Amino acid sequence: MEGVDSWLETIKGCKCLPEKQFKMLCTMAKDILIEEPNLHPVQLPVIICGDIHGQFHDLMELFKKGGEMPTKNYIFMGDYVDRGYYSLETMQLLLCLKVRYPDKITLLRGNHESRQVTGTYGFYDEIIHKYGNANPYQYCMEVFDCLGISAIVDGNIFCVHAGLSPSIRTVDQINGIERRVEVPSSGPLCDLVWSDPEEIEGWALNQRGAGWLFGKAPTEEFLHLNDLTLIARSHQIAQEGYKYMFDNKLVIVWSAPNYCYRMGNKATIMEVLSDNPEPKFIKFDSVSSLDKVTDFRKAVPYFLQMLFTSMI
């Protein structure tokens, strides 16, 4: 692992790997990820993290607050790229950590880990700018297709990027999903990375145009059928970094502080210990600001155009 340790030192300095090394990293990561199930079992203690969205310096702050690997165990619930200016460095750091400590970090897929979304919201353009060609983008997309869909912590906490699906009643059904594909526009894989909780009783169409809105009743039914106590998800900004819904049966965890360098929100990570099942929320503020980051997309208006639209 000497080579991977060297890569980690490079990336922690907010520098991208040379393309040849990045290709090697992606190949190593794919070999590990593809062996993991769609529903990844994780033991306590663990730290559960929400969206990162290319805010590399804030990701480094997250590890300072939560603790470094391999002393800590992490679950990241997707949306590593787009929006922020350092999606490539963010992804390379997380993949290096996965290769170096495969049993200490679980990487789930979000709706932004797809070709359709990254082609529009910044990641593709960032790679072209930093590497001068699209080959590294293809390496990343192949990795995204291997990412897990969900995790279950100590048999009690269900972790997923977005939410539930009317096609999925039991967690065992998740392992039957074919995940080595581009995220489709409908169906259970789409729902798990796109759906949102809403203060309704049942199911409703989602204004995002993908996934569903699901209410208290589907949440309680899913927990009951699977003998679970809590659903942890991200996918939507929470101004205080986290937000409980449905009588504390679902929690939104958001880990990108001052989202898009202008929202002013807090970020949290959720720590669950072996001797205390009550989640502990560790808050942190952004260490990034627009005067400290390099904006390679000054001429690309879509970065903030869609900030208040449905595609979080």
Catalytic residues: 112
> Which 8-state DSSP code applies to residue 171?
G
User: Residues 27, 55: contact at Cβ < 8 Å?
Assistant: no
Query: Cα 284 vs. chain centroid, distance in angstroms?
Result: 17
Backbone angles phi and psi of 281, in degrees to 5: -100, 120
Distance in angstroms between the alpha carbons of the first and the last residue of the chain: 36
User: Residues 255, 51: contact at Cβ < 8 Å?
Assistant: yes
User: Residues 33, 148: contact at Cβ < 8 Å?
Assistant: yes
Which amino acid, residue 156? N
Tokens of 58: 């804030």
Residues 6 or more apart whose Cβ sits within 8 Å of residue 9: none
Q: 229: how many CB neighbours lie within 10 A of its CB?
A: 14
- Distance separating alpha carbons of residues 220 and 218, to the nearest angstrom: 6
- Distance separating alpha carbons of residues 228 and 158, to the nearest angstrom: 7
Q: What is the bridge-based pairing of β-strands 250-253 and 242-245?
A: antiparallel
> 96 vs 40, 93, 259, 284, 301, CA distance in Å?
19, 5, 24, 24, 32
Q: How many residues does the chain have?
A: 312
Ramachandran bin of 211, using left for φ above 0, alpha for ψ from -120 to 50, beta for the remaining angles: left
Residues 6 or more apart whose Cβ sits within 8 Å of residue 4: 25, 28, 96, 99, 100
